[in-house]
Structure 1
Amino acid sequence: MDPADRLALSALAARYAQAVDRRDTAAVAALCTSEVVVVLPPELNRTDAPAELRGRETVARSVVGAVSHLVATRHVIGQQVVETDTTGRAHGETYCTAHHIYTRGEGHRDNRIALRYQDTFEFSGGTWLFSRRELVVDFAEDVPVTRSGR
């Protein structure tokens, strides 16, 4: 894979994290193909089976809606391994630590989730987009945190 494509895919994952953290539904949608599929594991959808979200608007509304009740989020993107499938299509795995800050009593807690995105990318209209993201939860922890006074 061309280094410029690798850089573009890394930036795509970072922009997705930024859009979610900023609760920017339009930005999330712009990073996805029209027929994107996002697969949420049982740990994140509170059921016994994975759940699929389909279509860029549905995905964007659902993803941003899922974090909108939180005080703050921070999705920290780690390593990414990508392989070309065909011209204009690639597959990869992107690591992420997702911080979900919520209020409990007089303080705040961080529900941290170590996850991996199993990604499929498509090159469309001169840019790389997500066509599929399947989340895999490796582990989670819930810890007290101190928020800044801003």
Structure 2
Amino acid sequence: MSESAQAWVAAGVRAVIGAHTQAQDAGRTDDIVALYASDGVLELPGADPVQGHDALREAFKGWAPTRPQRHLVGNTVVTVTAEDGATAVSDVVFFQRGESGWAPLVVGRYKDTFRRSGGTWLLQRRVTTYQA
């Protein structure tokens, strides 16, 4: 794969990660679900995997923000696995604003698997881990 093709894949993957973060912090459930493949999976520590659009929609509705929040995602490393596949590892810090101001509540890492379908990059699997 050419260097320009790899850059195109990395840009597409980073765009999905950013769109997911902004939609989640704004509580736009349908926008989040649209970023996952129809059989996409979300894995969180201590919980059963959430799979498929219906289950993802229900889960993200339940996690809709009740106060201002921000997921700051960075240090993303994208690995192209095929012309229509990639993985990414990103660090994440979750902040929420309370009465005393903004506070970090969670530090973690996303391990994402992507596939391209119909020219669109979609999350196939997101595995979230939390750092102690």
Give the TM-score normalised by structure 2. 0.86
Please name the residue that 1:119 is paired with. Answer: 112
> AA paired with 1:97?
V
Native 8 Å contact 1:67 1:73 kept in 2:
no
6, 9, 22: which one aligns with 1:5: 9
User: Aligned equivalents of 2:102 and 2:91: distance in 1?
Assistant: 22
73-82 or 51-60, which deviates more: 51-60
- The answer to which structure, 1 or 2, has the higher relative contact order (CA under 8 A, 6+ apart) is 2
Q: Percent identity?
A: 25
Residues 106-142 of structure 1: CA deviation (Å, up to 9, x unaligned) = x566352111111000101111110000001113xxx
Residues 6-42 of structure 1: CA deviation (Å, up to 9, x unaligned) = 1111111010000001100110011110000000112
Unmatched runs of 5 consecutive residues or more in structure 2: none
What is the root-mean-square deviation of aligned Cα atoms in Å? 1.9
Where 1:2 maps in the other structure, the secondary structure is: helix
User: Aligned equivalents of 1:30 and 1:57: distance in 2?
Assistant: 11
Native 8 Å contact 1:20 1:64 kept in 2:
no
Unmatched runs of 5 consecutive residues or more in structure 1: 43-49, 140-150
- Residue 57 in 1 paired to residue 54 in 2? yes
Q: Which stretches of structure 1, 4 residues or longer, exceed 4 Å deviation after superposition?
A: none
- Residue 88 in 1 paired to residue 84 in 2? yes
Give the TM-score normalised by structure 1. 0.76
User: Aligned equivalents of 1:26 and 1:39: distance in 2?
Assistant: 19
In our comparison, the structure showing a higher alpha carbon Rg is 1
User: Aligned equivalents of 1:108 and 1:79: distance in 2?
Assistant: 25
Count of matched residue positions in the alignment of Structure 1 and Structure 2: 128
Native 8 Å contact 1:82 1:93 kept in 2:
yes
Which has the larger strand fraction? 1
36, 48, 60: which one aligns with 1:32: 36
